[in-house]
Amino acid sequence: MSASTPLEDGEEEVSKSQRKRDMTALQKLGATLVALKSSQIEQLNLPEALLDAVMEAKRLTKNEAIRRQMQFIGRVMRSVDAAPIQAQIDAWNGVNDQETAKQHQLERWRDRLVEDDTALAEFIAQFPACDAQPLRALIRNTRKERALNKPLANYRALFRMLREIMQSAPPADDRGQPQ
């Protein structure tokens, strides 16, 4: 069964369950707005009704009053395009698919460099501008750290060094991915 049924005008009628999910999502976004700092809220350029509702919710202290205000914010948000608001909040929170992919790529390189001796040669081939000597030393220290079950300070330092290398020098073949 589909979540929507076609109408005569080409529009689709959304199911009650889908409307509830949408409203819950708007309320959660409203709760996120209330949790933001006042300076961040002002940067969002919210419509006046929504801005007033969010500021009122920040002022309230009683749980039931806050709950009712959150429902009201959800209702007000129905008439607002939530996508730009969500995009700005995601940008502030660092939720970015490209950044996440870069983090995962860095983690894969770090793990390969620690686990595999041949990975360093591959990394240097990918990023020829990097200085191999400090990288080799960090990899060696990280392996010692792991063998002795010590805190992983060098493991984190290796990650930071890889991030600096990958940000400063583009990969030799546009992939930069460990095999």
Question: pLDDT by residue (tens digit) across 117-136?
Answer: 899 999 999 988 888 899 99
User: Of 40, 70, 93, which marks where a domain is finished?
Assistant: 93
Domain containing 58: what range? 4-93
6 sits in which H/E element: strand 4-6
Overall average pLDDT of the 1-20 stretch: 69
Q: Does 99 have pLDDT greater than 80?
A: no
- Domain shared by 151 and 110, yes or no: yes
Spell out a b/e string for 97-130, using b for 16 or more CB atoms within 10 Å of the CB, else e: eeeeeeeebbeebbebbbeeeebeeebbebbeeb
Q: Which amino acid is at 145?
A: E
Is 157 within the bounds of a domain? Answer: yes
- pTM of the full predicted structure? 0.49
Distances from the Cα of 127 to the Cαs of 100, 117, 133, 155, in angstroms? 20, 17, 14, 20
Q: Please report, for the domain that includes residue 30, its CATH number.
A: 1.10.60.30
Is 24 within the bounds of a domain? Answer: yes
- Domain shared by 89 and 101, yes or no: no
Overall average pLDDT of the 33-61 stretch: 91
Q: What pLDDT band is residue 1 in, cutting at 50, 70 and 90?
A: very low
pLDDT in the model for residue 109: 92
Q: Which amino acid is at 174?
A: D
The domain total for the chain is: 2
Is 178 within the bounds of a domain? Answer: no
Q: How far apart are CA 105 and CA 176, in angstroms?
A: 8
- Domain shared by 15 and 86, yes or no: yes
